[in-house]
């Protein structure tokens, strides 16, 4: 499917489904997750999840993307996956993604993905350096990564994303270059590449509080990000969002829904959604979620929508349409946010034709731009 990342008119709707279970907890991860005591815990959760999904049944015909994330969705056993896929079988999205960890994949699960229409896999790799994998508390091997990718291709699932992390303490530029060379060898169509961020409620933050964790130098982090951009471009990837790269227009349509302020339903523990100008937020505590999923529903006023549209829209390399913003919000954003001109003057933002976008320098310092809209 071809997809125009510059579209500003056609509206899309996504469905995000959160599976909050993992077989082990990565040291950097602050997503809502836990190691289940037994499979009955997962089964009980899936029953509640089904109930919540069906409250949105009237949206099924208009859902364009499904994204099953976590946690580790691929740790579900075959029966649990069938249960979830059966709940979703009446939805026929343009893109259907599930997150997979290499160590919890099997050919049987891959065949099940194919049977139920999953056409995109997001594979949690993070690095190919075995020492760094251990440091992150990742449990897979490089051989498993290659086996999963080859298996998916044989099954007929060609849209494969790999997640990579850079800026890991102890990681060298050569380590990162090797990771990027491994990407070339995998011959995939999408890469998401993020710098490691120290988040509260993680093991790394626990170490940080004890002065046992030190983030890398910002200049080295910037050098690594520049290396990622240069190397992936050499491999034929288009840099289309701050952290995302695609070949042959194989963009993440679901994520583009977030970045273009389109609507999406969020179901599952701690999930959030954006439907009919309301932000929805589910409970983060499992016992509360099982009783009643939604915690709050907040109407988004015009000012909040504009802020979000600029913050998320400027994450795209091609930025936002000034004409569309003026038509949609009936204001001049340069008057509304006079600091935009300042960011243009210091080289963080630029205007090309109708579009406002980050400069190359702005890609490295995006947060300085986004702060003016908060």
Q: What is the pLDDT of residues 65-121, one digit of tens each?
A: 999 999 999 999 999 999 999 999 999 999 999 999 999 999 999 999 999 999 999
| Residues 231 and 368 both lie in one domain | no
pLDDT value of position 12: 83
**Cis preceding linkage at 310, omega within 30:** no
Q: Is residue 293 part of a domain?
A: no
Who's near 241: CB < 8 A, 6+ residues apart? 255, 259, 315, 316, 317
Q: Is residue 286 part of a domain?
A: no
pLDDT value of position 333: 96
Q: Is residue 37 part of a domain?
A: yes
Strands 355-358 and 349-352: antiparallel
Q: Is residue 117 part of a domain?
A: yes
**DSSP assignment string, 82-110:** HHHHHHTTT---SEEEEEE-GGG--HHHH
Is residue 228 within 8 Å of 239, Cβ to Cβ?
Answer: no
Confidence at 150, pLDDT banded by 50, 70, 90: very high
Distance between first and last Cα of the chain: 36
| Residues 137 and 19 both lie in one domain | yes
CB-count burial class (<10 Å; 0-12, 13-18, 19+) for 179: buried
Q: Is the pLDDT of residue 11 over 90?
A: no
Q: pTM for this structure?
A: 0.95
**Over the stretch 253-293, which tens digit does the pLDDT of each residue have?**
999 999 999 999 999 999 999 999 999 999 999 999 999 99
Of the residues 258, 279, 307, the one at which a domain ends: 258
Range of the domain at 133: 13-258
What value does the mean pLDDT take over residues 235-245? 98
Of the residues 240, 258, 276, the one at which a domain ends: 258
pLDDT value of position 361: 96
Q: Is residue 23 part of a domain?
A: yes
Count of domains in the chain? 2
Q: What's the rounded Cα separation, in Å, for the pair 320 and 328?
A: 12
| Residues 178 and 71 both lie in one domain | yes
Of the residues 228, 258, 288, the one at which a domain ends: 258
């Amino acid at each position: 499917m071809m997809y125009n990342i510059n579209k500003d008119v056609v509206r899309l709707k996504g469905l995000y489904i959160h599976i909050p279970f993992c077989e082990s907890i990565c040291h950097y991860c602050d997503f809502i997750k836990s190691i289940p005591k037994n499979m009955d815990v997962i089964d009980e959760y899936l029953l509640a999840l089904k109930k919540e999904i069906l409250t949105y049944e009237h949206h099924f015909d208009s859902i364009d993307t499904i994204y099953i994330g976590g946690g580790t969705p691929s740790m579900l056993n075959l029966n649990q996956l069938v249960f979830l896929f059966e709940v979703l079988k009446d939805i026929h999205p343009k893109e259907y993604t599930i997150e997979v960890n290499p160590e919890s994949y099997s050919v049987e699960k891959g065949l099940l993905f194919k049977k139920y229409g999953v056409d995109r896999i997001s594979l949690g790799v993070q690095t190919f350096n075995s020492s760094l994998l251990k440091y992150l508390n990742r449990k897979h091997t490089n051989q498993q990564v290659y086996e999963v990718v080859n298996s998916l291709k044989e099954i007929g699932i060609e849209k494969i994303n790999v997640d990579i992390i850079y800026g890991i303490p102890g990681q060298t530029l050569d380590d990162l270059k090797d990771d990027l060379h491994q990407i070339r060898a995998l011959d995939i169509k999408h890469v998401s590449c993020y710098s490691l961020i120290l988040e509260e409620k993680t093991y790394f933050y626990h170490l940080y509080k004890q002065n046992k964790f030190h983030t890398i130098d910002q200049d080295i982090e910037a050098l690594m990000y520049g290396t990622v951009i240069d190397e992936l471009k050499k491999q034929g990837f288009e840099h289309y969002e701050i952290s995302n790269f695609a070949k042959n227009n194989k963009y993440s349509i679901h994520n583009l829904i977030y970045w273009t302020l389109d609507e999406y339903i969020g179901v599952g523990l701690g999930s959030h959604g954006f439907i009919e100008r309301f932000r929805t937020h589910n409970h983060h505590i499992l016992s509360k979620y099982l009783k009643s999923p939604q915690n709050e529903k907040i109407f988004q006023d015009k000012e909040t929508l504009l802020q979000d549209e600029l913050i998320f829209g400027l994450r795209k390399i091609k930025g936002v349409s000034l004409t569309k913003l003026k038509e949609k919000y009936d204001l001049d954003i340069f008057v509304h946010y006079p600091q935009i001109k300042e960011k243009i003057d210091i080289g963080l933002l630029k205007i090309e034709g109708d579009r406002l976008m980050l400069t190359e320098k702005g890609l490295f310092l995006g947060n300085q731009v986004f702060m003016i809209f908060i």
